[in-house]
Each structure stands twice: as structure tokens, then as C-alpha cells.
Chain A
Amino acid sequence: MKNIFAVAGVVIKELYRRKDFYVLFILTVLVCLIMGSVNIFNDKQIVRYLKELCLLLIWISSLVIAITTTARQIPAEREQRTLLPLLAKPLTRTQLIFGKFLGCWIACGLVLICFYVFFGALAASRDHAWPLLNYFQAAFLHWIVLGVVVALTLLGSLVFAAPSSNSTICFVIVATILCVGRYLDAVALAQTEPFRSIIYAFYFAIPHLEIPFEMRNLIVHDWPLIGWNFIGLDTIYMLAYAAAFLVAACLVFRHKAVN
């Protein structure tokens, strides 16, 4: 475990040395502040459009950071020729994979804390309310989704040739799931066989990342808390997918040449 945390620590330090997070955070803040300064019929208490925009930007920024940070982990080690020395130490391939995953996931969590604190401050400036538990539920599930994305990207970095192609493919997969994942079963029902079965197979096979993504509507429109049992079940569901992707990554890495 000590080795895993050591690798994770290096990944986290790398995040705050790079400019990705700072650029995206400042961009999000600027866009939200500009949109917040728009005069809408001289009413200063309108806030929901701002909350929706801010949450959308947070999701886009966090996905960009998660995918781009993870996609270059293993290829960067290979390019800098640090992979062999790493594996020559008492660090197994599985520990390396788990260390990279944990580092990227914790880094995403730190990023999310910054973003959601800004979101809370922005919402409170007009709403004059702090539904902290609601924000915690949204941020927690968002972090769990990023865990699945990080695991998927890590697997992709071992399968695809370059970080750019890995990033692009992962972005496309994640964006597609977020936008249409909920409706694939409705699309399947409207088809004839064998397309119905194929689409249904995809529907049940993919991780339904859109479930926490659509929680944004509950935050924007001030709906009550979701039951904690549902939060727990969704966490287990997502972590199962993350575990499956990590196991697949370990199996692929075990048979991959590192030189």
C-alpha cells in the first residue's frame, strides 16, 4: 500500500504543477461572473440559470482534467524511460496501475472541492441558502463518476497507441453515455431485431454515468435530498465498473512490453 500511495502522491503533485486546472478554473469563474452580471429585468435574485451554467462548466472541466491527466500517465513514463526503473524497484505492475488510478482520482477529488466551493459561494450570493447536504451528494457522486472515467482512461492508455487518440475516444464514449445513455432502451424498443438486442446489450453493458450527471437538475431547482440508500447503491454500482476497468487494465499491462 505504501508504494501505491507513493505513486499517487507523485501524480497529485504533478497536477498542481501543470496549468490545466488553473486555466479551467479561472475560465469557469470568469464565464460565471460575466453571466451573473447580466441584467435580467432588474431582478437581482435570479440564480438558477447561473447554477445550471456553473454546474455544466464544472462537469466539462472535471472531465477534461480527469481524462487528459490520466491519459498521459503511462505513456509519459514510457517516453521519459522511467517505467523500467520504476518496475525494477519493488513495485509491481498492479501497484503501479493502482497508484496511478488513486493519484488521478484523488487529484480529481481535490479539483472538485475547489469547483464546488466556488459553486456554493456563487449560489449563496443570490440564493442566500446553503443546502450543504445536497451539494455534498452531488459532489460525492460526481467524484465517483470521475473514478470510473479515470479507470476507463487508464485502460485506454494501455490499449491505444497515443494519449491523443485515447483522450479523444474516452471523451466521445463518456459524452455519448452522458447525453444518450438514459434513452438507449427507448431507442432499442423502437427498433426491430437484431438491432434491438444489440442496442439493449450496449444499454446494459455501459456504466450509466448519466445518473449522477442528471442530478444537476435536482441541485439547480432546489429539490429535496435523495435517499442515502440510493446514493449508496449508485456508489457501489459505479465502483464495480471502476474495479472492472482496473482489473482489465492490470491484465493488459501484465502482458504488455514496457520497452
Chain B
Amino acid sequence: MTLLALLIFCFGIAANLQPRFQALENTRRQSDNFFNLLLGDSSRMFANSFYVKADEYYHSGFYPTIFDNNEAFETPHIAEDTGAVNSKNHGEEENFMGPPRDWIDAFGRNFIPNRHTHLDEGGPTDDLSTSDKVREILPWLKLSAELDPDNIQTYTVTAYWLRRLHNDKEANRVLLEGLRNNPDSYEILFELGRLYYESYHDTDRARNVWELAVRKWLALDPQTQKDNKLIFDKITTHLGELEKNAGNLPKAVNWLKAAQTVSLDPGSLQKQIDEMEAKMAAQPSPAPTNSIP
């Protein structure tokens, strides 16, 4: 009797729980990322650590800890050196450890990396022929991107360094993956445009992608636009250069005028505009100018 009662009880619990497990299984299948399944939202914390680890590798291990002054490393140099990221760095990047606190600290510094170097500038040996050693940062960037697919900067920085290593195919794949996860990202579109223009020399595709990036940026609210002026400056100046090299001077002038609205150095842009307008004036029957989309 007792056994029968227990069997009925177990059957009742199983019938009650089975639909709930079914629903949970369906929810889990929506995320096919292994790390998201395992770690949940804490994967973002690990992603940031691995991103910083990539910057540490960029510096061949010479990197501040939480006990050192890291004012000069607030924006990772792997991102700063791409030229497409606002830098928050200030202060001394050579002496973040400060003077030795005691004789043990002074002695211990002979056993750790103790000089500021960048891998793409020769690293600790200052040997420029080993500049391709910058590839060593890639595993950490790959891991960071997998742990936090919503972090746009990881994709753009990875793609930039892949291009520097002449690995354009992989750079393209990374940026397309970034776009799949972040379809409205103008930063990724800008980097994709750079890939098409500088690596593939595909002017038309680069133009299309950059113009799409501009449309995405213009769709932002005013405060977000104010916080992201640098990227708009970069996109518009690159479009200006593209149109200038393609011989479309009126379009080039329009793009540079758009860049002037956000540029920190509108004077140099004005010089370029003046040169192009002078060329246009010297040419017969200039084409009607189009406004930016």
C-alpha cells in the first residue's frame, strides 16, 4: 500500500513539473552561446577582464594593477590606437608604479616587465621586424567577444588589428558577426567601410556602408550624438576623402562641411574645402550638389 501511494505521489510530481521543464528548455535553446548558458550576465564581467588582458598583452605584461595609478590606461591602448575611440587617458604611462616603496619592491621590479612598449612597435626588444607579434592579443579579444556579444568596441578593435595583420577575411567575418549581434552599430559599419576601402579597395561598397553609418548616427537622440561626435567626424571625413579620390568634389565638400560641425579642428577641414572649391571653380559645369541623407 505504502509503495503504491509513493508511486502515485511520484507520478503526480512528475506530471506537475514536466511542463515547467519543457518551458525552461525552450527558453534555454534561444541562447546558443555556451558562455551565456554557463555564466549568465556575469559573462560580461569576464568579458571586460579578458579585454583588459588583451591590452596587457599589447604591453607585453607591463600593465597597472588595482594598486597602481591607471589614469593612463582608462581607455585601453589597443582601442586608442585604432583612432576611432574617444580617449580618456591622461597622466604618466611609463611610471604608473611610482618610485619603489621599499628595498623588496625595488628588488622585485627586476623580475617583472618594467618598460612601456607596444607589440606593434617592436615590443620589449624594440625589434620592428617582430611587429606582427601583435597577433598575441587576438585570443583574448576573441574570448571577450564571445562572452559579451553586445560590446561593439571588441569587434571594431579586433577587426582593426586583424587588418593590420593583413588578415582581411577574418576581419570581415568578425565585423559581420558584430553586425548580426548589433545591427544598428555605426561604429561597426565605419570599420567595415574601412575594410572595404583600405583593404579591398572597393569604393562603392565602402561608400554604401559609410552612408548607412551616417544614417544610423543621425537617427540617434541629440545627447547620444553629442557624446559620439568623434565617430561621426571619422565617418564624414573618410567619406570626404573617398569622394575626393573618386573625383566627386561637390559631394566631398558636402561631407567635409558635415565633419566641420563636430570636428575639433574645423580649420584644417576648411583649408581642404577651400582647395576643392577652388578646383571646382576652375573646372567647367560643376555638378549640382546633393545634401547628405
Nearest opposing residue in chain B for A45, CB measure:
B135
Binding-face segment, B26-34, B57-65, B233-241, B253-261: B57-65
- CB within 8 A of A224: which of B107, B108, B124? B124
In the assembly, what is the distance between CA of A226 and CA of B170, in Å? 38
For B, the interface residue count at a CB cutoff of 8 angstroms equals 31
Contact A182 B108 (CB under 8 A): yes
In the assembly, what is the distance between CA of A223 and CA of B123, in Å? 9
Q: How far is the CB of A219 from chain B (nearest CB, A)?
A: 10
Contact A212 B111 (CB under 8 A): yes
Contact A183 B65 (CB under 8 A): yes
Binding-face segment, B98-106, B224-232, B278-286: B98-106
Contact with A along B89-114 (1 / 0, CB 8 A): 00000000000011011011011110
Contact A185 B107 (CB under 8 A): no
Q: How far is the CB of B169 from chain A (nearest CB, A)?
A: 8
Contact B104 A218 (CB under 8 A): no
Q: How far is the CB of B193 from chain A (nearest CB, A)?
A: 21
Q: Does A47 contact B (CB under 8 A)?
A: yes
Contacts of A38 in B (CB 8 A): 139
In the assembly, what is the distance between CA of A40 and CA of B174, in Å? 12
Contact A47 B136 (CB under 8 A): yes
Contact A217 B67 (CB under 8 A): no
Contact A218 B107 (CB under 8 A): no
Contacts of B65 in A (CB 8 A): 183
- CB within 8 A of B104: which of A46, A187, A208? A208
- CB within 8 A of A41: which of B60, B110, B167? B167
- CB within 8 A of B139: which of A40, A212, A222, A224? A40
Contact A222 B124 (CB under 8 A): yes
Q: How far is the CB of B204 from chain A (nearest CB, A)?
A: 27
A-B contact pairs, 6 of them (CB 8 A): A42-B167, A46-B138, A48-B57, A49-B140, A185-B105, A187-B67
The 6 closest A-B pairs by CB, nearest first: A217-B61, A221-B60, A41-B170, A48-B136, A186-B67, A49-B139
**Other A-B pairs, 14, CB within 8 Å; known A41-B167, A183-B67, A214-B112:** A41-B174, A43-B138, A45-B135, A46-B138, A183-B65, A185-B105, A186-B67, A203-B104, A211-B107, A214-B108, A218-B111, A220-B61, A222-B123, A227-B110
